[in-house]
Amino acid sequence: MARVWRVARSCATASVLMWAALAVAAPEPSVTRWVDPFIGTDGTGHVFPGATVPFGMVAPSPDNADRGWSYAGGYQHRNPRILGFSNTHISGAGIPELGDVLLQPRAGRRWSGASTDFSATKQASSERAKPGFYAVRLPGHGVGVELTATQRVALHRWRFDAPGPAQVLVDLQHGLHFTDQPRVTQAVSQVDAPAGEISGTVHSRNWVEREASFVLRFSQPIRRVQTLPARAGELAPRYLLDFDLGAARVLEARVALSTVDVPGARRNLAEADGLDFDAARRAADAQWQRLLARIEIEADARTRRIFYSALYRTLLHPSDISDADGRVRGPTGQVIRAAGPYYSTLSLWDTFRGVHPLHTLIVPERVPGYIDTFVQHQRAMGYLPLWTAWGRETWTMIGNPALPVMSDAALKGLAGKHLQPALDAMVASATQPRPDAPPWAQRSWADYERLGYVPLDRVPGESVSKTAEYGIGDDAVARVARLLGDSALAERFEARARGWRQLFDAPSATLRGRDSEGRWRTPFNPIVPTSPMNNPGDYTEANAYQYTLTPALHDPDGLTALLGGPQALGDWLDRFFRLEGAGDNKHLGQEAMLGQYAHGNEPSHHIAYLYRWSDRPDRAAQRIRQIVRSFYSDRPDGIIGNDDCGQMSAWYVLATLGLYPVQPGAARWTAGAPQVRRARLRNPQGLDLRIEAARAAPDQAPTAELDGRAQDPRAMAHADLVGARVLRFR
């Protein structure tokens, strides 16, 4: 008999009522109809098309392959082969990780213990995806697959072509691999066949070292269990399960995960007790509808598809990975009891630039939870997060990117009530040694403090990029110190934030590496890009031209002056956008190119807006429109470059609205060039802002007004923006 999804406890009943309320709350017409999760799934976007809710812990989605840079999200649109459907994914990253508990269904009993290939070929025309839902037909397996999700539970529904027997592969060894080494280091699991349940914990070492506990429950008892022969190096089981559906053709499965333990996963699973698949799907759509509807735009259908798909991707991460009871396993493996959400999938080197400032506008209620997570991470590790997956530190990328996120939140009044602990965590992260960090990461601040820059002969690489990025963080500390009235601390970090100037090479007008004796990098070619994984040198996935403009992220006026003033900056930018390089190289950050501008990687994202500081501010609008038209579309290849947990998408959203945080830690907005005539922004904290754009006369400089008051288009205060009713551009 089919299992009845029962309500186990009163808290589960409350959860069901909440989901039911969400399911009927979505207004019409639905904004979610404009979202296409397949945009960015073909090429280097690396997004996944599967089902999830905003900031969800789980994300069931198809996996075409289990390793390789192209499959960081597990999926490529043009690959017809599906290995199965795993339940955790990261959107748009450059390194594969997660992919827990892969399931693959098949009608009949064609597999045996000797079977080795369980993959299927999809019927491409059947593949569909919407926010919170994914479906595909596997004709060779005689089954249609549907996926949806709640915050902590992945729901699978399989419709078989024929009633009677069915089989399911449960692969606990599967994961998305960064290396070719087996990822599982140990695993324990148990099967309760009459209850239709498998549970356990898998320890793995890949991009991060982590553990994932799970409970998998089917809607039918398991008739037969076979443990498949282990392949070389495998330590986690693969189960082949037989089911007898009788006259039925539908089998469902639910997967709940926990960073802590199996009891935590079981409590997470109980949250969805009593909630059927279709109600869960409606509830997921309602959640997406509520958030996506916070921005309305007046645009044609194609623009709406690109815009709302981009907005959707900016709300996939960070992921709240805390259990229903508030427990979570922190960065060093210890169990933390979080006071609220605990966020991971923090791609901060990417997202501090656009995603996090955008969140202060559209989901400000989330921001205090980000800051609380950062502080808890620092208390455990001694420093703030860089890039986390499943709560663990990857030590990926450079700088102190949590610092501008914290500064921006503090200056906008969104950091919560405990500003002093936040500042203490910021200072510790920028000054304390990190002896446990890997060799390529920052371990000591001594050279930086003594010289004012990172010397090229004292680090494995990226010395110029590190210096420029540390300046952003130092400026952020200074801003929060000033907010709290600590002038001495502010002055100390303001001085540190100016250290990048010592790397300015006047003859080339670029930032150039220097050693600990002050000698310049020789030979030197400012066009040659470098990357620590492909071509070690002084820059991080970029070249000297691209990183010379990084200090503008905290000191655009100082950079303008150093280059010789507004006219010199305009000349520099014109040359930058015209100067041809060696061509695209996606592994060196050289993708989506306009001269030396590389939109496919984050160090270039603010550069078009710097024309606002030059003597030719109208060219900002010209370049922004060119980037929008050249590098975004509503096709599966509509993102060029890793989406990086929403940053590529956030750039498009903000460009469409005519805003960008050139100084992301300063609570300021720079006016750009709206790509729509009208838009409206609303959030629960009282923001209700209309954006209107009118064409300026040919001889008229671009302007921005808030409620009729002229603004400095380079630096509009966030407080003024959220307190206004109309933002008008010309």
Confidence of residue 582 (pLDDT cuts 50, 70, 90): confident
User: Does residue 690 or residue 416 have the better pLDDT?
Assistant: 690
In a domain, 66, yes or no: yes
Q: Give the distance from CA 205 to its chain's centroid.
A: 21
Distance of CA 364 to CAs 17, 355, 479, 508, 573, Å?
25, 12, 20, 42, 34
Predicted local confidence at residue 701, as pLDDT: 63
Cα separation, 613 vs 472, whole angstroms: 19
Query: Is 236 a member of any domain?
Result: yes
Q: Is residue 280 part of a domain?
A: no
On the question of pLDDT at 3 being above 80, the answer is no
User: Could you tell me the CATH number of the domain that includes residue 80?
Assistant: 2.70.98.10
For 697-724, how does the pLDDT look when each residue is reduced to its tens digit (9 = 90+)? 655 667 899 999 999 999 999 999 999 9
Instruction: Please check whether residue 669 is in contact with residue 706, taking contact to mean a CB–CB distance below 8 angstroms.
Output: no
Percent of the chain whose pLDDT exceeds 70: 95
Q: Judge whether 240 lies within some domain.
A: yes
- Cβ atoms within 10 Å, residue 294: 18
- Is residue 227 situated within a structural domain? yes
DSSP character for 124?
G
For residue 71, tell me if it sits in a domain.
yes
Question: Across residues 244-249, what is the average pLDDT?
Answer: 96
The pLDDT > 90 percentage for the chain reads 91
pLDDT in tens, 103-159: 999 999 999 999 999 999 999 999 999 999 999 999 999 999 999 999 999 999 999
Q: What is the mean pLDDT of residues 374-381?
A: 97
The whole domain housing 42 covers 37-272
Q: Look at residue 350 and tell me if it is in a domain.
A: no
pLDDT of residue 698: 59
Task: Identify the DSSP state of 726.
Answer: E
Q: How buried is 524 (Cβ within 10 angstroms: 0-12 exposed, 13-18 middle, 19+ buried)?
A: middle
The reported pLDDT for the residue numbered 730 is 84
Report CA Rg, the chain: 26
Number of domains present in the structure of the chain: 1
Q: Give the pLDDT score at 577.
A: 98
Cis peptide before 318 (omega within 30 of 0): yes
Residue 600 falls within a domain, yes or no?
no
Per-residue confidence band for 7, with pLDDT thresholds at 50, 70 and 90 = very low
Q: Write the DSSP assignment of 2-64 as a string of letters.
A: PPP----SHHHHHHHHHHHHHHHH--SS-SGGG--TTTT-SSS-----S---TT-S---EEES
pLDDT, tens digit, for every residue of 291-328? Answer: 999 999 999 999 999 999 999 999 999 999 999 999 99
End-to-end CA distance of the chain: 66
pLDDT of residue 711: 96
Q: Which two tokens stand for residue 380?
A: 């455990």
Tokens matching residue 231: 């392949």
